[in-house]
Structure formats: structure tokens, C-alpha cells
Amino acid sequence: MDVADIHIRQLTPGDAASYRGIRLAGLKQNPEAFGSTFEAEFTKPLAWFFDRLSSSQIFGAFRGTEILGIAGFAVRGGEKEAHKGLLWGMYVRPNARGTGVARRLIEAIIAFARTRVELIQLSVVVGNEQARRLYARLGFVEYGVEKNSLKYDGKYYDEILMAKELALDADRDEVCVPCAGAELYSDGSSISIALASPSAG
């Protein structure tokens, strides 16, 4: 697959049929990867997907008119949580994997989120090493595990909680040289910067 032919854009309600197709394919093929289920969304009319695209921010990767991957972004509800965004519903069709489609979708969401929230959070089911590596490569840091987060067909799944602080990226850009040696770590509940040098301040 020639990656130069792939472009990323935000979906509009006019993409409802394509979105429905790839969303249902993801729920069917990788049921363990999502909070929702195929059964819950398969019965929804096209208008339901149209409404979702009217009220949500969902990005798609396209080759021509063919949709290869999707990822959603949502700002948390409520005044006290509105500084946090959620990355959800990430899926790439098997024939398009390993070509950077997911990375480009996440980068588009990070760029979109940067002017809207301070932090992007996500969760990934324990055992989904490909997704976990992908998020880590893009700067998401693990800050906890939710035991028995999902229950499907009588089986429980733990989820790893990950977050990326967007302000930290901006700070690092501004004070890049004096902060050389700074590193990110997670103390289990929050993400902090450890400065390697006292002069880094």
C-alpha cells in the first residue's frame, strides 16, 4: 500500500455509511478492543451514525473514497473535567495496518486536541501490545490499570490507563535546550516531569 495515497480528515455526517461499515467491522473483528459491542451498534439505523458524526469528532484515514481507519476524540463532560479529552474508537482495517495509518490518525487528534484540552486520556485492554506500543511511541504515559474494566461474554478485561499531557509538549518546545535530560515518569496517579539537572529550571 502506497502511504502517500492516504489522507486523514475529520468525518462529516455525509460519511455515515462508510463510518458505519468500518465501525461495525472493527466491533466484529476485535470485540475485546472496544467498550461497545457489534450487537449494540449493528441494529442502529444509518441515522444514528449520521447523528454521531454530527455531534462527535471522528477522524478517518482514506485512500481515495475507501476508509481505512478511524479514531474518535471527545472532550470530557462537566466544567471540572472539560480540560481533559478522550481518544476512543481507534481501528485500522487489517489490510492497512503496519503502514502508519494509526499513528497519523493519532497525530491528527493530538493537533486537534491541542487548542481544546490540556490532556488526552485513553484506555487499552491488557494484552493489546500493538496498540499499547503505538500510544507509548506517541508520548502517552501509563498511569494506572482499571481491573475488570470491561465484561464481555462473562469474561473480564483489565484496561491500562494512558494519558498525554499536551502542555508538557508545548513547554518542552519552548525550553528545549535548558530542559535537556528531563524525562517523563508516572507515579501511578499523575504524570510529572523529573528534571535531570538543577540548572534546567
Interacting residues with ligand COA (CB under 6 A): 3, 26, 30, 33, 90-92, 97-103, 124, 128, 130-131, 133-134
Question: Of 28 and 54, which has the nearer Cβ to ligand COA?
Answer: 28
Closest among 57, 53, 58, 66 to 6, alpha carbons compared: 66
> Is 111:57 a contact under the CB 8 Å cutoff?
no
Kindly state the smallest distance separating residue 200's Cβ from ligand COA, in Å: 30
| Residue 123: all three cell numbers together | 484506555
Q: Side chain identity at 146, as an amino acid letter? A: E
Kindly state the smallest distance separating residue 100's Cβ from ligand COA, in Å: 3
Give me the residues paired with residue 142 across strands. Answer: 162
Reduce the DSSP state of residue 201 to 3 states and report it.
coil
What is the β-pairing status of strands 84-92 and 119-125?
parallel
Q: In angstroms, rounded to a whole number, what is the distance separating the alpha carbons of residues 54 and 197?
A: 48
Kindly state the smallest distance separating residue 105's Cβ from ligand COA, in Å: 8
Give me the long-range contacts of 27-34 (CB less than 8 A, separation at least 24): 29/94, 30/91, 31/152, 32/125, 32/127, 32/128, 32/150, 32/152, 32/157, 33/91, 33/125, 33/128, 33/131, 34/89, 34/91
Question: Of 132 and 171, which has the nearer Cβ to ligand COA?
Answer: 132
Question: Of 98 and 178, which has the nearer Cβ to ligand COA?
Answer: 98
Question: Of 39 and 197, which has the nearer Cβ to ligand COA?
Answer: 39
Question: Of 50 and 89, which has the nearer Cβ to ligand COA?
Answer: 89
Question: Of 106 and 119, which has the nearer Cβ to ligand COA?
Answer: 106
Q: In angstroms, rounded to a whole number, what is the distance separating the alpha carbons of residues 108 and 10?
A: 9
